[in-house]
Amino acid sequence: MADIDLSRCRPILCRCRLRRSHMARIRPFSAIRYARPAGSDISDLVAPPFDVLDAAGKAALQARSPHNIVTVDLPYLPPKAVGPDAVYQQAAATLDSWLASGVLKRDRRAALYPYEQTFDYAGRTFRRRGFFALVRATPFGKGPVIPHEKTYRGAIEDRLRLMRFTRMQLSPIFGLYDDPHNRVANALYHNVGRPLATATLEGVRHTLWSVADGEVENQIIDILGTNNIYIADGHHRYTTALEYRNELQQQAGKPLPDPHPANWVLFALVGMQDPGLLMLPTHRLIGGLDGFEIDAFKAALGANFQVSPCEIGPDRLSEYADEILPKRPAHTFGLFDGRTRTLHEFRLLYLDILKDLEPGHSETWRQLDVAILHRYVLDEVIRPRFAGGRDPLLGYTADKDALAAQADGRRYQIALLLQPTPLLSLEQLARHNEVMPQKSTYFFPKLATGMVLNSVRDA
């Protein structure tokens, strides 16, 4: 394999200190976990995030164990669709039976839970180190928890119904914090000892420990107390937690006391400078086109872009996405034509092409490849020229190995390949309350569901 430049697949490290308008509050908690001896392999019990699964994926996980967390976390298919109350009632009944029978247990002592993911990507082995903790729930725009994506009602309603019945936070929010010297990870992992549990899921090794050392906890609480927390993944679940808390407050007719469990949200927190933090692109699949040809596309782009062919066949698209495209100049895109099975590149020459189209957005937003692709290439070129003025069929995939098969000229006619979004852009936009276009970020790998759960039942 050729040398791989992963600099574009990893975040641009933040070297400046951020302005802090609010203090993030975190605290240890007594996790609910699978009742297995310390060091046990719980691979058969954990699951990927619910929203990446289909019926076959759910069935495969349940075949591994009748106690797999997917039974509770994904009671209704397809993911994000809202089911009848009965399916959420059944999920809650299953969870209660697992608690009553000892399948799940609650740790006696509150702790922070170091959580490490070890994985291979593009010929290298990475280790991402974070930890599970509770973060004080604060509305977006009024506290230190900062989003970068919009949320949609359907996905929130499904998760909200599940939380109402189970009264459990089943999967963590993925949050990032600024820690240039990795002080948090160094303190947490200094002497972790034997793990509580391990799991291997889709090639990723997950390891969980517990740290119930008051001095270490206070040190980390102090460090995070000067930080914002940026949501990397889990905007809908965080919004769900806020809405659930608000419902309880409305029922009580007053704010909940600070220690109430619904005031706190389960997070997996990772430092922005962690060497195992990878943010990869989500590529686009486009269908519903009429008369698409590369020469016509080149003419429609005009002088704003340079278009050139690539001598790379369909069987090398994964190599192109991993090894070649990240080395290209900024604002270079790949275009795979499913009909001709050929690859071309097009590169933006006029850097602020969105200035007149999106004057209300910042320059940072206008420089995002996903913004350029959607707001100019799709809206101003493909839709009027090749889709009859209608929105084309749009698909998303981070699976670079499947691009050629998915863009087969039938459902999807072309694939548009992107470079990764720099993490610095996410941070800058989030701090100014400016959300990114949909599917701008993909943090690899996903967190596992089932390593720890957090009860929001008022004792």
Report the chain's mean pLDDT, rounded to a whole number: 91
The per-residue pLDDT for range 226-285, each reduced to its tens digit, is 888 999 999 999 999 999 999 999 999 999 999 999 999 999 999 999 999 999 999 999
Is residue 228, in this structure, part of any structural domain at all?
A: yes
Say if residues 412 and 406 touch (Cβ distance below 8 Å). yes
In a domain, residue 82? The reply is yes
Check whether residue 142 and residue 209 sit in a common domain. Answer: yes
Task: Please state the φ and ψ torsions of residue 113, each to the nearest 5 degrees.
Answer: -120, 95
Cα torsion 296, 299, 305, 306: sign:
positive
Considering the chain, what percentage of its residues have pLDDT values greater than 70? 95
CB atoms within 10 A of CB 215: 8
**Do 276 and 129 meet the contact criterion of CB atoms below 8 Å apart?**
yes
Are 296 and 231 contained in the same domain?
no
DSSP state of 262: G
Residue 399 lies in a domain: yes
Amino acid at residue number 160: L
How confident is the model at residue 15, as a pLDDT?
33
Sign of CA dihedral 217, 219, 220, 222: positive
For residues 331 and 281, is the Cβ–Cβ distance under 8 A? no
Q: Is 400 or 320 the better-scoring residue by pLDDT?
A: 320
Q: What's the token pair of residue 328?
A: 């290209």
Q: What pLDDT score does 205 carry?
A: 98
Residues 264 and 321 placed together within one structural domain of the fold? no
Q: Is residue 12 part of a domain?
A: no
* Same-domain check for residues 267 and 299: no
Domain range for 46:
26-278+444-455
Asked if 91 and 75 sit in the same domain, the reply is yes
Helix (H, G, I), strand (E, B) or coil at 389: coil
Strand ranges, E, within 58-172: 104-106, 113-121, 124-136, 145-146, 168-169
pLDDT at residue number 20: 44
- Helix ranges restricted to H, 282-378: 294-301, 317-319, 363-366, 369-372
In sequence order, the β-bridge partners of residue 428 are: none
State whether 243 and 144 are in the same domain: yes
Which of the four pLDDT bands, split at 50, 70 and 90, describes residue 449? very high
Q: Are residues 172 and 302 in the same domain?
A: no
pLDDT digits (tens, 9 = 90+) for 74-89: 999 988 889 999 999 9
Q: 184 and 270: one domain?
A: yes
Indicate if 274 and 286 belong to the same structural domain.
Answer: no
Question: Is the N-terminal amide bond of 445 cis, ω within 30° of 0?
Answer: yes
Residues 232 and 294 in one domain: no
Number of independent structural domains in the chain: 2
Q: Is the pLDDT of residue 219 over 90?
A: yes
**427 within domain boundaries:** no
Whether 310 and 241 map to the same domain: the answer is no
Residues 179 and 45 in one domain: yes
Residue 16 lies in a domain: no
pLDDT of residue 459: 53
**Is 288 contained in some domain?**
yes
Q: Is 318 helix (H, G, I), strand (E, B) or coil?
A: helix
Q: What is the pTM of this model?
A: 0.88
Inside any domain, residue 386: yes
